[in-house]
């Protein structure tokens, strides 16, 4: 009886030892796997694309002066009609043309009158063209010199009067550009893995980044450059 009890204890102890060895080996293996999973590489992928703006906002401004206010209004209306006629002749529609109320300044109402000021009233006229006809807008802008023959001095395209070009179709190019940025990042990661004598594993994390749209250069603001930088982290395997 005592011998049977002793034998059972020895067998049970053997099983316990074997179990502890197995658990220890399993834990060690799991630890090694966890350490392997910690080996990563983070890379950035770039995608760039040039596109043509699809919307133009073209401001057209001119100024008139006179000492007779009713006559000034009459001149402003006449010349505004001529500018609108010019735009329609080139192919722009009424829905694309916006006319703001003229801004009238009474220079004598300011208290101090500059003796060198010849005209009391000054009217600033603002028109704008909001259009998707980019090529038509560009060619029409070059023909604005024709309005000089009508006695209309259009303000120069300075900072305040510059034409604004927009690209509003980003959703149409997003999927392709994201794919290109991801592929670019993977190529960089694969080269790193090869150089480090490893194999590229699955993606651990990915950040798409933000799309930026800027002018290609100051001479052609209607050509836009779209850019995105994606950040991806890959696992590395032996």
E strands, the chain, where? 40-52, 55-66, 97-99, 103-106, 121-131, 164-166, 199-207, 212-215, 223-237
Contact between residue 203 and residue 234 where contact means Cβ atoms under 8 Å apart: yes
| CATH number for the segment(s) 39-53+168-238 | 3.30.110.170
Residue entry with tokens 């100024």? 63
Question: Residue 66 has which token pair?
Answer: 């006179």
For the segment 76-121, what is each residue's pLDDT rounded down to a tens digit? 999 999 999 999 999 999 999 999 999 999 888 766 666 777 898 9
Question: Residue 9 has which token pair?
Answer: 């204890």
| Range 55-166 classified under CATH 3.30.70.2970 | yes
HEC readout, 44-81: EEEEEEEEECCEEEEEEEEEEEECCHHHHHHHHHHHHH
Rounded CA-CA distance 192/228 in Å is 22
For the segment 148-198, what is each residue's pLDDT rounded down to a tens digit? 888 898 887 766 778 999 999 999 999 999 999 999 999 999 999 999 889
Could you tell me what percent of the chain has a pLDDT over 70?
Answer: 81
Rounded CA-CA distance 196/213 in Å is 36
Beta bridge partners of 215: 224
């Amino acid at each position: 009886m005592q011998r049977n009890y002793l034998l059972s204890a020895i067998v049970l102890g053997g099983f316990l030892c074997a179990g502890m060895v197995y658990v220890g080996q399993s834990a060690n293996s799991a630890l090694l796997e966890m350490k392997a999973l910690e080996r990563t590489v983070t890379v950035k992928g770039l995608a760039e694309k040039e596109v043509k703006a699809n919307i133009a906002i073209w401001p057209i401004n001119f100024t008139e002066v006179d000492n007779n206010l009713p006559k000034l209004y009459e001149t402003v209306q006449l010349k505004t009609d001529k500018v609108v006629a010019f735009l329609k002749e080139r192919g722009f529609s009424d829905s694309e043309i916006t006319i703001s109320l003229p801004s009238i300044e009474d220079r004598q109402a300011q208290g101090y009158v500059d003796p060198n000021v010849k005209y009391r009233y000054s009217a600033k006229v603002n028109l704008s063209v909001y259009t998707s006809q980019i090529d038509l807008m560009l060619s029409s802008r070059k023909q604005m010199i024709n309005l000089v023959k009508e006695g209309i001095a259009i303000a120069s395209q300075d900072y305040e009067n510059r034409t604004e070009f927009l690209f509003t179709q980003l959703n149409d190019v997003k999927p392709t550009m994201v794919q290109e940025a991801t592929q670019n990042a993977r190529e960089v990661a694969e080269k790193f893995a090869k150089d480090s004598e490893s194999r590229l594993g699955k993606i651990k994390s990915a950040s798409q980044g933000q799309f930026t749209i800027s002018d290609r250069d100051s001479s052609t603001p209607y050509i836009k450059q779209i850019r995105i930088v994606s950040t991806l982290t890959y696992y590395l395997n032996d």
